[in-house]
Amino acid sequence: MLPAEDELTSLSALGESAHGPGAFATTHWSVVLEAQGESPAAQEALENLCRTYWRPIYGFVRRHGAGAEDAEDLTQGFFALLLERKDLNNVRKEKGRLRSYLLTSLKHFLADESRHAMAVKRGRGQRLIPFDDIREGERIDAERCDRLTADQIYERRWAFTVLEQVMARLREEYRRAGNVRFFDQMKKMLMDEADRPSQAHVASEFVMTENAVKQAFYRFRQRYQTLLREEIAHTVAMPGDVEDELRHLISVVRA
């Protein structure tokens, strides 16, 4: 499920003025880089990023030719090496984006046979990445992935992971407020779905006026946009990179 195209267009139009130039001065990725990987905060931030963004890595490894079990081991091993701070020196100098850095590191890693074999061994028994639900998703996505390159799979899964994280955060906010049913309807209105409900339908279900539903949806969409920018900001070192990453995500989703 994707945000409707007009919603994606509106996301790209969000300016820094709505949030202030210093809104994302500290992000998960900048914590890792600036702390030189030595602090507990940097370790926790990097582990969280690995747990969140493992699917693009796994997808690339599978499309690269690895079987399912080897791909799991390689993905676990790749992140195990990353968490040992083996590969962060160059990216600290470059102040790179997490998305680009991980893909470049992964390609180097897969080309290095000795590290490749070591990572397979390290990957066995690791518990950093949860693979429990991956095979069902793979079956569903297999036909589409066959038409894509490994790089394209990586980029698409990265983009969808960002969007899924945003929606999960927004749902949790509504859950804490006791409004999960209302969230579900707002989500359907945001998404480009065949069963997208009308404002009149939602108003009738929740005993609201259509104008109240319109205002609620406007707030829902604004909050979604804010959380999207925050999620992207977690993966870049500099606040100024958020806009470029947002445009990249939109282009990947539309492709």
pLDDT value, residue 38: 65
Alpha carbon distances (Å) from 147 to 16, 184, 189, 192, 228: 37, 32, 30, 23, 28
User: What is the C-alpha to C-alpha distance for residues 125 and 132, in angstroms, rounded to an integer?
Assistant: 14
pLDDT value, residue 9: 43
Indicate yes or no: pTM above 0.85: no
> Could you report the per-residue pLDDT of 196-214, keeping only the tens digit for each?
899 999 999 999 999 999 9
As a whole number of Å, the CA-based R_g of the chain is 20
The arithmetic mean of pLDDT across residues 227-243, rounded, is 87
| DSSP E strands, the chain | none
User: What is the C-alpha to C-alpha distance for residues 59 and 239, in angstroms, rounded to an integer?
Assistant: 28
> Could you report the per-residue pLDDT of 56-75, keeping only the tens digit for each?
999 999 998 888 888 888 88
Taking CA 191 as the corner, what is the angle to CA 188 and CA 197, rounded to the nearest 5 degrees?
Answer: 35
- Name which residue leads in pLDDT, 13 or 1: 1
Reference 223, options 176, 169, 153; nearest CA is 169
Whether 8 and 254 have beta carbons less than 8 Å apart is answered as yes
The structure tokens listed for 187 are 């989500």
